[in-house]
Structure 1
Amino acid sequence: MTDVFATAAIRDRVLTSWTASPARFREDANAEEDLALGGYRDRLIVELAQNAADAAARAELPGRLRLTLRDQSEEGAVLVAANTGAPLTPAGVESLATLRASAKRDDATTAVGRFGVGFAAVLAVTDDPIILSRNGSVRFSREDTAALVADVPQLAEELRRRDGHVPILRLPFEADGEPPDGFETAVLLPLRDEGAADLVRRLLAEVDDTLLLALPQLEAVEIDIDGEVRELEGALDRWHVQSTADEFTTHERERLLANRPTEERSRPYWSVLWALPHDATTNVPRTVHAPTPTDEPLSLPALLLATFPLDPTRRHVADGPLTDRLVEEAATAYAELLRIRAKAGDDVLRLVPTGLPAGALDGRLREAILAQLPTTPILRAAEDDAPLQPRDAVVVDGADRALVGMLAHVIGGLVRATRTDKPALDALGVRRLPLDEVVDQLAAIAESRPPSWWQETYAAMADSVNDPLTRESLGALPVPLADGRVVRGARGLLLPGADLPAEALSTLGPYGLRVVHPDAAHETLERLGAIVASPRALLEDGALRAAVGDSPDADDPEAVAHAVLSIVDAAVRTDFLQPGDLTWLGYLALRDAAGDLTPANALVVPGSEAEAILDPDEVATVAADLVERFGPAAMEAAGVARTLGLVTADDVPLDVLPDDLADLADIEDWVAAVAELGAMAGEVSAVRDLDFVSDDAWPRALALFGANPTLRRALVQPVRVVGASGEVTDVLSYTAWWLRQNVTVAGHADPEADSVLVELLEPAPDWLADLDPEVRRALGLVRTVADLDADDAARVLDRLADPDRPVEAATVLRLWAQLGELTAVPDGAPPTVRVLDADGNTVVVDSADAVVVDAPMWLQRTDLGGHIVALGRAADVLGDLLDVPLASEVAAGKLADDGVPTPVPDLVRALAPGVPDTWWEHEELLVDDVEVDWWVTPDDRPHAATPEGLARALAWAADDWPARHLIATALVEPDRAAELLLDAAFDPRD
């Protein structure tokens, strides 16, 4: 084996130096150990790739590197790094065996390594590295080196102290073998242990495009791990790269490299490369590469490879003027990269430095970059997409992309930006324009833009107004109105719906109706405070009411009328506007059939019920062409009568009536009648124009109440009046009250009235029979005694006491029973009353000669006067109504003797369970010295002098008056007990 690289000579020379100075041995061992365990502990793959790149550069050929890891079981794992390019040279071997003496000294323009110590990285995983080359091979060995050192007495003690650890890479040994076919050099690294194998696997897995970008001399890197192959090539196809390089002038070398090591000063070149991945998901190392990885953190989302000067560990960039110069060059290159990418259409704001720096060098880079970018055209103008320098750009706070697009033609230099872009734009010093200032600029051009442009602008603001602060800034936004004006601020404006005619809105504008122009209307304005102007909302606007009030004196009253009617028509169709909802519309001046201007509420629709029933001297007919154009429903909603009209109000204070009610005929009299019961009325719904009904039209007019549910309700439903203490009273509606006062049918007998009342009251006109009972009752027709008011009741009593009017006993008995239901009492009692005499006939007597008989036993007392028969409450009511005493009030009802106690027969008690067990028998029963057949004392003791009287006494005492006949039968015919009991089984019992 030929010693091609004179390894023996190198070993002898190194051993001689160590023998002469054992401290040198110790120094070399410490230095190598520091490199292996410190600065180069995880740079194995990078250093192997760097050597491959240097070999390719020396050969001036594209380099290839193949990294193969094989687990050779008993022998352990082996890493092989085979590369193309220039083979190993004797100078290279000597460099490997000499710390900090690189063989690349003369390769100033190509070599990457600069210290001659990178190969020490292999010691992190192996003790026996081997280099095979076409020119020869060399190996290093911890064991062989230790053996040679142990033979030197001067070094033996130091070797013992170091526990056998020696500087492996100082003593080369001859080696046999050749690199794989196709490669010039191969580094074989038998891995020390499993931990070393794990480290190699991790480092191989981390190899990516960054290695190819850092070492451009390498065309491809192949990684083979136990047969699984991964190949890297064509990195430039996957990255956007911006690079620059140059050689320092002599003056620059003296200034910039003065504090650098001697051999580094001999290579006066520099280079900077920035790389951005095409795929945003590609992981970008966040460390500075010089050009291989350092420990200097980098916050920018791009790969930086630059020839920064490094400290001896090759982990950190060294401070000094050279670093300062390269920072500036890196900033210039970065700005150029962003310019190119922006021109290509990329959004580069994500690449602008923001936030806090990751380290000292990162901070200097960011500062230098931010000094360059404001004058670099990296933004795109929103107006024409032209390149724009940040210092010339403007962003609008709170404006999204759509809004920016609308404002681009108004604000020069405007750029699009999102909320996430704010930090980058602030870092670039882009001027911010608050939205309120934008609003002022828009106001300056408001008159020059058509309404449709404003609608597009509002649409662009749709998302922006979600932010409360943005809404506040837009508070004075210009808004074009339907009448041609432009106002500031959307709050309170009316947004027209599709059903609103533009001509009408324009006509009503001078009255203060602030309606947004239909071509400018957009929902954004609603969110800024505008009100959706349904036709109903427009009608309720004070400006339209003012137009109605001014319509008789307007310059063009017909135009105002048409405008209002068109809105009313839309409200009828879309908002269910009903007649009477807005009574003030009745003051709208309209043309009548004669061409004169007349308030709508004094007009009727031709051919309508209103025209048929209302007095033509009081109302006129509206012009037919208005009805034809706007329709009868719109005319009626505007106050023109088609039928009887309504006015309605809620919570009406009776001391101050609202205008809608105040115009009703005789309303003051109705209020005076009900105000005694309370101060506030609930819902008041009243029929108007009753005083305009023609005298001969009442049958037809009243028929409307039966056909129209709304009119009917206003008539028949009472009004609830609330008193000062909260008490509630239902009173007659205004409509019913007025009709009773003015249509002479009140107090007449209803067609369905009780026959008793028919005999005593005037019959109602026949045409009223077609009305429903509730309407007739509200009109004052009397169907039952309960329907009588005080006047009607007085009239009935007067007629009842008329001696010339024949009245049957059956009639008067029924009437007395019903008068107990009377609620309205006349002011005074009649002087004469109709009573029953001793023979059961009706006669008229002075009220002083009459008594109210409220129990059947008093019927035996004909000595007390004529009888008025009633029971319970009816007796009390009749007594008060006729000013006649009860019989019990004018007689003591005292029995002459107690009688004989006698048991009540069992049969009677079985038939009438409520009868007492005992009754008192009398030969002659005298009460107040008047002979009677039976009596029941206040303590419910029955007394009797006859069988029939006993039956009555027992039934009355048992509070079972209908049983008197059954009891009488049982007393007289006890042998019929079985029959009577069987029949009684079917009697209803409580």
Structure 2
Amino acid sequence: MVRERVLAGWAAAPVRFREDANAEEELALGGYLDRVVVELAQNAADAAARAGVPGRVRFSFRDGTLVVANTGAPLSADGVESLATLRASAKRDDGQSAVGRFGVGFSAVLAVTDEPVILSRTGGVRFSLADTAAAITALGSSGLDTELRRRDGQVPVLRLPFPAEGEPPEGYDTAVILPLRDDAATELVRRLLAEADDALLLALPGLERIEVEVDGEVRVLADAESRWYVRRAVGTFDESERELLLADRPTEERSRPYWSVLWALPQNPEVGVPRIVHAPTPTDEPLSLPALLLATFPLDSTRRHVAKGLLTDWLVREAALAYAELLQARAEDGADVLAYVPTGLAAGTVDGALREAIIAELPGTPLIRAVDDGTLLQPRDAVVVEGSDDAFNAVLAPIVRGLVRSTRQSRVALDALRVRRLDLAELVDQLGSAAENRRPEWWRETYAALSGMVTDPLLREALGTLPVPLADGRLVRGARGLLLPGRELPNDVLATFGEYGVRVVHPDAVHESLERLGALPATPRTLLEDSAVRTAVEHSADADDPAAIAEAVLDVIAVDPSQADGMWWLSDLVLRDADGELVPANALVFPGSAAEAVLDDEEVAPIDRALVDRYGHAPLEAVGVLNTLTVVSASDVTLDALPEALADLDGIEDWADDVAPDGSRYGATVGELQAVRDLDWITDGAWPRVLELFGSSPELRRALVGQVRVVGPDDRPLGVPSYAAWWIRDRVLLPDGEPLAGRADPEADPVLATFLDPAPEWTARLDPEIRTAVGLVRTVADLDVDGIGQLLDRLAEPDREVEEAAILRLWSQLGSLTVFPDSAPEYVRVLGDDELSRVVAAADAVVVDGPMWLQREDLGGFVVASGAVADGVSDLFEVPMASEVAAGKIETEGTPADTPAIVRELVPEVPDTWWEHEELAVDGVDVSWWVDENGEPHAATFNGLAKALAWSAGRWSHRHVILAVLDNPSRASELLVDTTFDSFSPRAE
């Protein structure tokens, strides 16, 4: 009857045929393209629900045919009509047990077959593409024939039912038989059967068992809820809700006012969860949550996407509530549910709405266990401590209400739940008042709990104000600088310093974490470096019990005296002298010591013998008691702001002024400075022994003879005398009232020594470096500015007889000086007669830097030097060069002559031509030879010619050879042979 009615309708109105064909093709190729397994399972579930029996379905695939057998209500006439009528479901009155809607799900079979067959206990029906096409052709309708040709033979398969013979398999009520169309259909069915899983059972509660047989291998799906944690919510809309929520839904959908939501989490974490929304069968809506969602969301016409509207919004809220209840149930079972909290970006519109609703619901749902008692807390009532770990949380739990654990992995989830975060530094600030009455042992446990956190630099900074109990009962903030009692120093010693403000951690609270937070193990060094100890030492003279302070300090230093190195301020510690008086340590000497022998007894006193017997020399020397002279050191010294360690040195500011580059201390630095202290306390008669001490002590020696490297603002280094050398040169006077510095060294140049005062005989016992450092003069280069001035004054004394050879040697040394006195001498010594020099006014002297100027006696007295030395002497004496006071112009005519060949052979550098003069006058003065500004030699005598040729050739030392060959040409061969050895030195061999 259905078939005849449909054919009649098509014949009467071919457009209806076209509409049916298009609708069926849209479903088969669109929304139901890959839904054949799901839709047939859904039909099986509905059949079981209608019959009120447990649903079972079996998918059997072999030899290109898929057979789907199920239990439940058999095929009825209404069912056949529903199958053959698009969008007219036979399930209208089935109630909420029916999952399928609109009666179009069966069209999914057309994706894989053209000849579907349904066999039931009440009969069978089949559909056929070929038979439908034949039936249309048999009608003889030109309109239908035209449509058939236009569609290339494609007809709506499911509109014309045909009778079918057969029975469903035993034990089943209905069977759907699908001969597969081609290889593509076969591949699709295989894939869909392989993908069938628990989600299908959960989506279809009417089914209790699904069997999948492929090529003889059977897989059974059953009892899904035993493998999943499930939360269901179901209900029925009342009349007002139906009018509001279903107003925009199709009529038949509005007649089914039932809704349901199911969330499921796999019990096996390795089981994958489909990341799509099921409504309740799969859709194309993505889902980012790691849970399975099946809900009766309304779908659009494609059956692939959730439709927008009030119903969807309402179901989203119900789904969020159910999700929160599921997580709460899992949390109550002891599971960590933070991994299921929505974080990150939404995967789609529906997913975004679900996440937003869930995040609004979860903060008020008990989900997180409190560290303290394990009770479940609502996230809005919970708090996490930033950076804390489990060990520290266990300590904090009784103090911080609502404390929960936090890991790096859970941070984003906790933030999404709006769990309050307490900054670690903020907690530490609160910890002092919250735990101020705790015992030291509790604090040790707290520090032990922190051991895993203090390795993180950022967390260490946050723990900077962590409370720490001290041995004196105080609770202070911050471990930095506190002292940790240990084995090196006894507790009673530490307790003594506690009275002076030293902060020592309570022994019962000590833990290694405190050291990582800046506390220092209590060693002699760390204790002495404590500012409170320094304050106690520097004010020990005013203390109520100075002896107690002295005893405590010496007890500490006695453990290891080397740890007091560089602590110059220990010398302020007051100790008893031999008379029982309190005296700073740096003004005490050991009885019988070198220091006692050389230092003024009005400045120093011998130390109490009892202290020496108790502590020995090393601890007492460490605090400044003198056994010999003492060296103090300082690093990275800035000359314009000298460190405290050097402040007591006599004249140290004057030294800095004198050695500063260009006279300015600003920006000048010294990397390492060693200075000898107490030089001003040395008695006048003790200097011979003192300087021997310098020679016998490597440390004192370095502090005296080593130059100090001063670096100026321009980064140029400059070597300057040490402080000790400067002080001795500047301030040490001999018994005659004259300084030791500037006197002739025992090994001084004899010529130089004649102009200097002799050094005392005892200086001969000193090594040369010591003698030079204290200012004794061995060569002109050892003279300082004052010494140079004194030498020049003594050179100008007319009563002194100075041989020309001596003065020539002095001039060669003076011309190499780099420092000059402030003023030039008024008188200078020049060449004289009878091999003795003479003194003339500086204005009557010239510097002769070439031998031809020695013929110009009209210029004044001669100071003789050559090259750079001549320039130096000219600057030192402020005496002009001869060439600066005379033009040197040749005023007589000469005749050119060839230089003898033998001379050119002996001295190849000589000019080829020289100028012969009967009389040779230069600037109106008769001379025997000259070399003009062009380097041409002029001569009026035989001897003069030899000198002129040698000077012009730059071979002044060859003048005698040239004269010899000119005077006696027969010696030419002999002299030529001799020149072969001019550059040879036997010592070089």
Report deviation, 1:686: 3.9
**SS at the partner of 1:242?**
strand
Q: 3-state DSSP class of the match of 1:240?
A: strand
The answer for the alignment partner of 1:343 in structure 2 is 332
Tell me, what secondary structure is at the counterpart of 1:276?
strand
Could you tell me which amino acid in structure 1 is paired with residue 59 of structure 2? R
Cα distance change, pair 813–183 in 1 and its aligned pair in 2 (3 A)? same
User: CA separation in 1, counterparts of 2:161 and 2:288?
Assistant: 43
8 Å Cα contact 1:138-1:172 kept in structure 2 = yes
**Counterpart check, 1:550 vs 2:542:** no
Amino acid at match of 1:784: T
Asked if the contact 2:752–2:779 (Cα under 8 Å) also holds between the matched residues in 1, the reply is yes
Residue 273 of structure 2 corresponds to residue 284 of structure 1? yes
2:631 equivalent to 1:645: yes
- Residue equivalent to 1:63: 56
SS of 2:196's partner is coil
Q: Summarize deviations over 1:38-75 as a string: whole Å, max 9, x none.
A: 6655432112223444566759567352241644xxxx
Task: State the identity as a percent.
Answer: 54
Summarize the alignment of residues 625-640 of structure 1 with structure 2, pairs less than 5 Å apart: 638-640=623-625
Would the aligned equivalents of 2:788 and 2:821 in 1 still touch at CA under 8 Å? Answer: no
Match of 1:971 among 963, 966, 974: 966
Question: 2:867, 2:767 → 1: CA distance?
Answer: 33
- Among 732, 746, 758, the alignment partner of 1:742 is 732
Listed as ranges, the matches of 1:555-634 within 5 Å are 555-557=544-546, 560=549, 579=566, 583-590=568-575, 596-604=581-589, 610=595, 613-620=598-605
Equivalent of 1:665 in 650, 668, 684: 650
Q: Deviations over 1:586-610 (max 9, x none)?
A: 3233455666543233235788764
| Change in 2 beyond 3 A, CA 1:30/1:546 | same
Q: In the superposition, relative to structure 1, how do residues 976 and 346 fare at CA in structure 2: closer, same or farther (>3 Å)?
A: same
Distance 1:902 1:296 in 2: 120
* d(CA) in 2 for partners of 1:672, 1:13: 125
The answer to whether 1:122 aligns with 2:112 is no
Describe the superposition over 1:533-559 as per-residue Cα deviations: whole angstroms up to 9, x where unpaired.
Answer: 999899788666544432322345456
Which among 93, 108, 118 is matched to residue 131 of structure 1? 118
Deviation string for 1:492-525 (max 9, x for gaps)? x536699996968876678777888896788899
Helix, strand or coil at the partner of 1:305:
strand
Say which is worse superposed, 136-145 or 409-418, in terms of deviation: 136-145
Counterparts in 2 of 1:412 and 1:977: CA distance versus 1, 3 Å: same
- Secondary structure of 1:494's counterpart equals coil
Aligned to 2:67: 80
Q: Is the 8 A contact 1:65 1:218 kept in 2?
A: no
The CA deviation string for residues 245-303 of structure 1, in whole angstroms up to 9 with x for no partner, is: 79x79999999999999999999997654211235464433455454335676564322
Distance 1:874 1:461 in 2: 74
1:976 Cα shift?
Answer: 2.0
Distance (Å, rounded) in 2 between the aligned partners of 1:590 and 1:200: 104
Matched to 1:63, the amino acid is R
Query: Structure 2 residue aligned with 1:678, among 663, 667, 680?
Result: 663
1:455 equivalent in alignment to 2:441? no
| Residue identity opposite 1:751 in structure 2 | P
1:692 aligns with 2:673: no
Q: Aligned partners of 2:228 and 2:192: how far apart in 1?
A: 22
Query: Can you list the C-alpha shifts for 1:313-349, whole angstroms capped at 9, x where unaligned?
Result: 8778899999999878755653442123213333213
CA-atom RMSD in angstroms: 6.4
**Match of residue 4 from structure 1:** none
Q: Structure 1 residue 783 and structure 2 residue 781: aligned?
A: no
Secondary structure, counterpart of 2:177 in structure 1:
strand
Q: CA deviation at 1:982?
A: 1.4
CA contact (8 A) 2:124 2:166 kept: yes
State how far apart, in whole Å, the 1-side matches of 2:783 and 2:709 are: 21
Q: Does 1:50 align with 2:38?
A: no
**What is the CA-CA distance between 1:378 and the residue it aligns to?**
1.7
Q: In the aligned structure 2, how far is the partner of 1:379 from the partner of 1:479?
A: 32
Partner of 2:400 in structure 1?
A: 411
1:98-113 aligned within 5 A = 112-113=99-100
Deviation, 1:440, is: 4.7
In the other structure, the counterpart of 2:987 is none
Where structure 2 has 5 or more consecutive residues not aligned to the other structure, the ranges are: 735-739, 985-989
**1:689 Cα deviation (Å)?**
0.9
Note the alpha carbon deviations across 1:764-814, whole angstroms, 9 max, x for none: 4565445443331121222123334555875798699798x9988766665
- Structure 1 residue runs without a partner (length 5+): 1-8, 72-77
Residue by residue over 1:634-675, the C-alpha shift from the partner in whole angstroms, topping out at 9 and shown as x without a partner, is 76665444533236584434xx97766564335687689789
Q: Distance in 1 between matches of 2:18 and 2:853?
A: 150
Residue 756 (structure 1) aligned to one of 751, 756, 759: 751
Alignment match of 2:957 (pick from 951, 962, 966)? 962
Deviation of 1:23 after TM superposition, in Å, equals 11
Q: Counterpart of 1:212?
A: 201
CA distance in 1, matches of 2:839, 2:574: 67
Superposition map of 1:891-910 within 5 A: 905-910=900-905
Check 1:94–1:405 CA distance in 2 against 1; reply closer, same or farther (3 A cut).
Answer: same
Partner of residue 481 from structure 2, selected from 486, 491, 494:
494
* Counterparts of 2:255 and 2:945, CA distance in 1: 154
Q: Is the 8 A contact 2:483 2:522 kept in 1?
A: yes
Q: Following the alignment from structure 1 to structure 2, what is the Cα–Cα distance between the partners of residues 271 and 726?
A: 85
Secondary structure at 2:539 match in 1 = helix
1:50 aligned partner, one-letter code: Q
Q: Quote the offset at 1:381 in angstroms.
A: 0.7
Aligned amino acid, residue 975 of structure 1: S
In the TM superposition, 1:182-221 aligns within 5 A as 185-192=174-181, 196-197=185-186, 199-216=188-205, 218=207, 221=210
Is 1:301 matched with 2:293?
no
**Are the aligned partners of 1:33 and 1:167 in contact in 2 as well (CA < 8 Å)?**
yes
CA distance in 2: counterparts of 1:858 and 1:320, whole angstroms: 121
Work out the number of aligned pairs and report it.
953
One-letter amino acid of the counterpart of residue 538, structure 2:
G
Deviates more, 1:751-760 or 1:315-324: 315-324
Query: Could you say which residue in structure 1 is the equivalent of 2:979?
Result: 984
The residue identity in structure 2 corresponding to 1:80 is: V
Matched residue type, 2:336: D
CA contact (8 A) 1:942 1:957 kept: no
2:387 paired with 1:387: no
Q: Deviations over 1:454-511 (max 9, x none)?
A: 53565565588749xx96x878665666865445578xx5366999969688766787
Aligned partner letter, 2:193: L
Distance in structure 2 (CA, Å) of the matches to 1:314 and 1:879: 113
* Contact 2:631 2:674 (8 Å CA) reproduced: no
Contact map agreement 1:836 1:868 (CA 8 A) in 2: no
1:981 deviates by: 0.6
Aligned residue number for residue 74 of structure 1: none
Return closer, same or farther for 1:942/1:853 CA change in 2, 3 Å cut-off.
farther
Q: Deviations over 1:326-377 (max 9, x none)?
A: 8787556534421232133332133345688888987886687667645543
| Preserved contact between residue 585 and residue 623 of structure 2 (Cα < 8 Å) | yes
Give 1:886-965 correspondences, 5 Å limit: 905-913=900-908, 917-918=913-914, 943=939, 955=950, 960-965=955-960
Q: When the two structures are superposed, what TM-score results if normalisation uses the length of structure 2?
A: 0.74
